[in-house]
Amino acid sequence: MGGSRPSPPPPPTIVYSPAPPPPAPPTSVPTQSVTTQTALNETSGKQTRLNMELGAQLDRTNAEFFAGQDIRRSQSASAEQRLTQKAAGDIETGLTRVRGQEERSGIAATGAEYRAGLATAGQEERRTIGTTGTETRATERVRGAEQRLGIAATGTEQRRGIAASGVEQRAGIRETGSQTRLSEAERGRQQRLGISATGVEQRAGIRETGAETRLSEAERGRQQRLGIAATGVEQRAGIRETGGQQRLTQGQLLSGQERQIGLRGQEERRTVAATGTEQRAGIRETGSEQRFTALQQEMFRRYKENRDFEQAQSQYRS
């Protein structure tokens, strides 16, 4: 990965062969060549041991040198890696700070636009409610006045009808009484004059009395029906006029309310549309900034991995 480095190879292990045993003591021959050969052999053995000891010392020195070189190389790579990580951390911290500032600015702008939209919508709604209340009260006043006028007109017509009915009833009763009195007078006169008359005259008088009574009752019923009919006509006319005025007033009220509701709906839809536009614009801007920041982070990560890989290869080759 980006921060790993191939470990250095371990120092070579040197196995020293034991020194050869000293040669067997030569047989002492008192000659010059034997003495010389013996001295040469001793000198050669000493030189061989010195060479082996010197080689071992050189191997140890080289191992210590290469081990120190590996340690220094590891320390240098670690320092370089720490510096790289610190720089990357500083860059990431700066990017995070800038991203947070941009996000807070976007959220603040969105909140300000949303609150402004709500304030405007509230003002418009309060104005609409005030206008609706004013129109409703005015309509209720007019409707109440029209209803009172209608009720007054209905009462007047009813009283007139009842008065006319009473007049006709009283006239009918007077006529009935007059006819009854005349009938009774005629009957008494006929009784007084026709005491000697037969039962035929009595029956004729009774028939006359019944006919007059029926005529009087018929006239009275006709007058009563005429009065009641006139009363019904006037009452129905008053009720029709009252219903027409009420329907006209209610139609005007409903029409005004529908217009006010339509205007309020248009204002609310406009406010919602403007709020949605501002929010979507803020979200698009935030997404663009986030994608750009993520792209920069990915590019930096790839650059760092490539650089670490090249450094590791260079160290491994060296």
Q: What is the pLDDT of residues 221-235, one digit of tens each?
A: 788 888 777 887 888
Q: Read off the pLDDT of residues 260-309 as tens digits, 9 standing for 90 and up.
A: 777 887 888 888 888 888 888 888 888 888 888 888 888 888 888 888 88
17: its two tokens: 């062969």
Tell me the mean pLDDT in the region 96-122. Answer: 84
Tell me the mean pLDDT in the region 92-99. Answer: 84
Quote the pLDDT of residue 13: 56
**3-state SS record for the chain:** CCCCCCCCCCCCCCCCCCCCCCCCCCCCCCCHHHHHHHHHHHHHHHHHHHHHHHHHHHHHHHHHHHHHHHHHHHHHHHHHHHHHHHHHHHHHHHHHHHHHHHHHHHHHHHHHHHHHHHHHHHHHHHHHHHHHHHHHHHHHHHHHHHHHHHHHHHHHHHHHHHHHHHHHHHHHHHHHHHHHHHHHHHHHHHHHHCCCCCHHHHHHHHHHHHHHHHHHHHHHHHHHHHHHHHHHHHHHHHHHHHHHHHHHHHHHHHHHHHHHHHHHHHHHHHHHHHHHHHHHHHHHHHHHHHHHHHHHHHHHHHHHHHHHHHHHHHHHHC
Quote the pLDDT of residue 11: 54
Q: Read off the pLDDT of residues 165-218 as tens digits, 9 standing for 90 and up.
A: 888 888 888 888 888 888 888 877 777 776 766 766 667 777 788 778 788 777
Tell me the mean pLDDT in the region 225-254. Answer: 81
Task: Provide the pLDDT confidence category of residue 126 given band limits of 50, 70 and 90.
Answer: confident
Tell me the mean pLDDT in the region 63-79. Answer: 78
The yes-or-no verdict on residue 36 having pLDDT over 50 is yes
CB 157 within 8 A of CB 234: yes
Quote the pLDDT of residue 293: 87
153: its two tokens: 């007109």
90: its two tokens: 């500083």
Quote the pLDDT of residue 17: 53
Quote the pLDDT of residue 1: 43
Question: Any idea which of 21-25, 51-55, 230-234, 295-299 has the lowest mean pLDDT?
Answer: 21-25
Read off the pTM. 0.26
Quote the pLDDT of residue 2: 47
Task: Provide the pLDDT confidence category of residue 22 given band limits of 50, 70 and 90.
Answer: low
Quote the pLDDT of residue 180: 83
Task: Provide the pLDDT confidence category of residue 8 given band limits of 50, 70 and 90.
Answer: low
- Give the mean pLDDT of the chain: 78
Quote the pLDDT of residue 202: 66
The yes-or-no verdict on residue 81 having pLDDT over 80 is yes
